[in-house]
Amino acid sequence: MFRKLVWFAVIYTFVVVVVGAYVRLADAGLGCPDWPGCYGELTPHHAQDDIARAVAEQGGTHGPVSLGKAWKEMFHRYIAGGLGLVILAITVTAWLRRRELQQSPLLATGVLALVLLQAALGMWTVTLLLKPVIVTLHLLGGLALLALLTLLALRQQALPAIAPAITSRLRPWAVLALLVVIAQIALGGWVSTNYAALACVDFPTCHNEWLPQMDFRHGFQLVRELGMTAAGTHLSYDAITAIHWTHRVGALVTLLYVGGFALWLMRSPGLFRHGFALLCVLLAQVSLGIANVLGGLPLPVAAGHNAGAAILLVVMVVINFALHSKRTP
């Protein structure tokens, strides 16, 4: 039962992450500008009058506030709250059944602590008006939660043995591949939270150049408002271009290194399926990224790109767990 509950939490977390990405991409992050309710109400239905006034003030539903966007934002909050209850149940069970499970409950406790931090980041995302560093941390926190729950779920499984000679050789490269994926996800989050996905609308060049004019100093300032520099001036297009271009370079590095690592796994006894899965997810993720640029960021493709990042992270966690588990052939 504990194993089933943890795997349910993994799938549930994946849904919450994808829905959160959809809410952000649909420009619904401020659909309800307060927290945890919506204009002080439990549902957007009860806040219809306040929403109507806000829509009138912004001059129509093209802005961040509308009834539909409010429902999207609140739906994400509802399911995130449900996930918190599931993780609370996992943590309590891990402590009460720690002797039967024969494992420390500290990982489950850490997951619960991360959920509480995620709730705070979710609140600050709204109250601080989508400040890029907060939104990016919220995204990374959700993916970290998914990764830790996957690790907890894998601890409940009996996995086939892999020869120690193979695992010892692959371990450091697997860790590096995981770090490369995490770094690229962080860059992707920075692109998304700064609305830089369409800073370059051609591919593989950017503004028909391999090295366009860019402003890295302002583009990668962490403490600033959305669309502004730390000094309070408007963020230049060169800064947005720098963010986008860096993510592209990161994608190339990820494709070459992680792709090469996947091919290595496919040639290693007992790890063909791991390598094949990694290569398929990686190629799909790169394809979705290119499709976002060439297609003008269609919402389903953009949400799929976020889902692909989550799946890629899970695959890398599975691979690292397989290589680091203490088993004999």
| Active site positions, annotated | 73
HEC letters along the chain: CHHHHHHHHHHHHHHHHHHHHHHHHCCCCCCCCCCCCECCECCCCCCHHHHHHHHHHHCCCCCCCCHHHHHHHHHHHHHHHHHHHHHHHHHHHHHHCHHHHCCCCHHHHHHHHHHHHHHHHHHHHHHCCCCHHHHHHHHHHHHHHHHHHHHHHHCCCCCCCCCHHHHHHHHHHHHHHHHHHHHHHHHHHHHHHCCCCCCCCCCCCECCECCCCCCHHHHCCCCCCCCECCCCCECCHHHHHHHHHHHHHHHHHHHHHHHHHHHHHHCCCCCHHHHHHHHHHHHHHHHHHHHHHHHCCCHHHHHHHHHHHHHHHHHHHHHHHHHHCCCCC
